[in-house]
Amino acid sequence: MTISVGDRLPNTTLVKATADGPDQVESETFFAGRRVALFAVPGAFTPTCSAKHLPGFVEKEAALKAKGIDEVACTSVNDAFVMDAWGKSAGAGDITLLADGNGDFAKAVGLTMDGSGFGMGTRSQRYSMIVNDGVVEQLNVEAPGEFKVSSAEHLLSEI
């Protein structure tokens, strides 16, 4: 079942790269007590994700924070090392990159897609959401192959 506005995010473990190596992050703890703009991409270093999705959030991060967002985060079914390298290559220093290496978070929120035709296996759908103290306040899920409603610009226009 797909998560909906008003639902509490399920607790899963994500991984964030740090100077000391991979650090496990419980989603329940990460989203607690603050308002987070979360966006998900099918894969780091993939064309739309690298050319449009991540750069849009890098560009609009300050504007999102000016509207009451405490943190901007991205998740993808990639490992923490790939997410870290992708963030560095994109100049995304202030965006928190959360690796969902086994797709547990994507499965738990019901937003997976089958990328087997591209050799990618099960991945996250492309979406954006506002999470307020662990509860989904806003959710924008893209239609397959689209990039419209999950963009930073669209999310910003709805706050």
Facing residues of 97 across strands?
Answer: 74
Which CA distances in Å does 62 have to 32, 56, 101?
21, 11, 28
- The rounded distance, in Å, linking the Cα atoms of 107 and 102 is 9
Tell me the torsion sign for CA atoms 42, 47, 49, 52. negative
Tokens, residue 131: 């999470």
User: Is position 74 annotated as part of the catalytic site?
Assistant: no
Set 40, 44, 49, 95: catalytic member: 49
54: closest CA among 6, 27, 91? Answer: 91
Instruction: Tell me the residue type at 148.
Output: K
CA-derived radius of gyration, the chain? 14
Any idea which residues carry the catalytic annotation?
Answer: 49
